[in-house]
Chains A and B, each alone.
Chain A
Amino acid sequence: MLRPALLAAALAAAFPAHADTELDALRAEIRDMKAAYETRIQALEARLQQAETRTETVAAQAAAQPVPEAPTQTRGSFNPDVSLILQGRYAHLEDRSERGISGFMAADGHDHGGGGRGFSVDGSELVLSASIDPYFRGYLNAVLADGEVEVEEAWAQTTGLGQGLSIKGGRFKSGIGYQNEQHAHAWDFATNNLAYEALFGEGYAQDGVQLKWLAPTDTFLEFGAELGAGGAFPSTHNDSNGTGSVALFGHVGGDVGVSNSWRAGLSWLRAKPGGREFEGHDINEIETVGDFSGRSRTWLADFVWKWAPNGNPTQQNFKFAAEYFQRKESGTLACDDADPAAPSLCTGGLAAPYLADQSGFYAQAVYQFMPRWRTGYRYDRLFRGDVLFNGADAGNVFESLADYDPKRHSLMLDYSPSEFSRLRFQYTLDQAMEGVDENQFYVQYIYSLGSHGAHKF
């Protein structure tokens, strides 16, 4: 816009007064140019007003800028966000032939390749996520371990339904409980808690669909329902068109003042195990094989409370989490000798009614006492409850279902040089198996590479 004026000034300086006619011509030309500019500006203004009335406002905003330097940002490319979690540990454990949870049927859940004594590398988690289109977003979490790739999650979720509704489909971590949706790298301890180990092995994932609805209230109030194939413990993949597992859950949460926030939930899981493997020992420590078919119902109550001074967790913060479960299973337990040469109490094959009413909980507190440093304590406790086999206590037949209440104490200290790296030390007093009192020491590392993953509450 300055150009005509500058031009005029330059020309006026260059040509002395005698060039009046030429100057007049130039003035006319400049007038024309000004007029042309004005019409263009008017046209732009008109277009601007048009654009304002439309919802597509981006172009309008660019034009409305009082400064010419304001470009709109271009965000990345169409490539999905990629992040990679590297995880491994050193475990100092006693030399034991087997590890299990007394009084409970073992959940054959996977662990991430680690779990042995000494050094081990857990599976590396590769996470890809992106918007699919204006209607869906997609997420993949694959665990890479020796000779295998396991798909932990692979789902698409609606983003545009509105009214607080969303539908997720594929393989996803079930919304039940609190810890269930977290991947192992987000746990506050190096090992899983006993309650989840007994319930699911690691956590419960569904192959199916999830419907969630968030109530339009200022207090967080969320309800969800899931239908799944039920491929994992406590369910089994039944060859049917029905649904092997159904989950329902509700969560409520809010803030207390600016420094405290909380969330509580209640969940219900129905599974239909058919021929679920049961490998145990009888009371004479002879191996047995068998399976369980029937129904499994789990209730899960969870509570989380977080504190940070002024709601700013960077310096200090505190987190308390606890979950309580109750599981009832009823059906038929069949068993036989694992080795025909070693006759057990199941010799000749036995199939009888099985009934279990069991419960347990964990409670943990984690305190960040200064930047980078956190310490935490967790107490896990299971109640074996009533386990009946053929009308009598199952502990009379199976040593692995003995009347024993497992428990575990864990103490951890972790150091995070940044949000992307963490080194953790943990001591656990493990009393999960009857007659075992084991001191366990862990050193664990967790590194996160690539795009910045946001963690849930």
Chain B
Amino acid sequence: MTRIHPTWRAGLLAAALLLPGAAQAALKVFACEPEWGALVREIGGDRVDVYTATTAMQDPHRIEARPSLIARARNADLLVCTGAELEIGWLPVILGESGNGAIQAGQPGQFFAADFVALREKPAVLDRAAGDVHAAGNPHIQTDPRNIARVGAALAVRMAALDAADADVFRHRWENFSARWTAAIARWEKSAAPLRGVPVVVQHKAFPYLQNWLGLREVAVLEPKPGVEPSLASLAAVKQRLAADPAKMVIRAAYQPARPSEWIAAQAGVKAVVVPFTVGGDAQSGDLFGLFDSTVSKLLAGLN
């Protein structure tokens, strides 16, 4: 015991020196996905310090629990993630290693967007034979802008509760955003009207909320089971299905590999459409408005 005392003393001293000052300025937010990072920025403006853990080019199911993520989670006041098991392969490690009590389960500093949206595609039977299904339902809720509004309303309340000094700023910015968002939704819905009832193929079951919003009709999925890479055999089966029930386009997210979509596009004579899926997914998707501007225009381009 006596041998290690000096070490501990040194460690505690270092800890005391490095502790952040009492008067912290901005609310520190760890956002798992870019859409939530962007939403926090809309609500918080310069009163938040946002770190986004993943990019639009990464598969949010499959992220390495990298040391850099653990380091950023350690200092966060608020963790904003999708939830519904989307991040189950990596977030538990981040939380466990972060040494941050504020963002653990049950704390106000832990915010899961999926808790505020009615999830679709809740599996009736939970069996891994059906692929990588999520027990709570499909977690890709951000592809419907109305869900962004639902999550944002709850998020603004949560942010105000965590940072009372800036509560008015958050409330005011949220009201402002919300009004612009509602107008934008009406605009998108109007321009996307030709998409109603259009038959589409999707690469991964990533778009049920988008399909529901715009009235797209999903006729086939390239992945034979959720999370299982399409094989030549499964693609050939989709091609056969499309012969009987033709589709207009095949949709994939920016992070997904191009080959399956392009194969089916060439074979079945449908258009391959890459939607940004989240903020940063293409040049136009710099923020949430750009995300849906781009999504709608790319889908419309797929009609021609």
Contact = CB atoms under 8 A, between A and B. Distances in A.
Nearest to B146: A67
Contacts of B106: 131, 134
B229 A217 contact: no
B128 interface: yes
Contacts, number: 203
A214 B97 contact: yes
A61 B92 contact: no
Contacts of A165: 15, 99
Contacts of A219: 68, 71
A346 interface: no
A39 interface: no
Label chain A's interface by main secondary structure. loop
Contacts of B154: 57, 61, 64-65
A54 B158 CA distance: 9
Contacts of B100: 162, 164
A116 interface: no
A336 to B, nearest CB: 34
Interface stretch (B112-120, B213-221, B243-251, B295-303): B112-120
A255 interface: yes
Interface string A217-239: 11111110101000000000000
A214 B83 contact: no
Contact of B157 (A60, A157, A162, A252): A60
A331 B106 CA distance: 52
B201 interface: no
B187 interface: no
A156 to B, nearest CB: 12
A255 B92 contact: no
Interface stretch (A312-320, A404-412, A431-439): A312-320
Contact of A314 (B7, B59, B75, B117): B59
A385 interface: no
Given A52-B160, A248-B7, 6 more contacts: A53-B161, A54-B161, A73-B119, A261-B67, A371-B229, A454-B88
Shortest Cβ-Cβ A-B pairs, 9 listed: A253-B67, A220-B67, A160-B101, A164-B99, A61-B154, A310-B57, A162-B101, A220-B71, A69-B118
Interface of B: 1, 3-4, 7-8, 11, 14-15, 18-20, 54-55, 57-59, 62-68, 70-72, 74-75, 83-85, 88-93, 95-102, 104-108, 112, 114-119, 128, 131-132, 135-136, 146, 149-150, 153-154, 157-158, 160-162, 164, 227-229, 255, 257
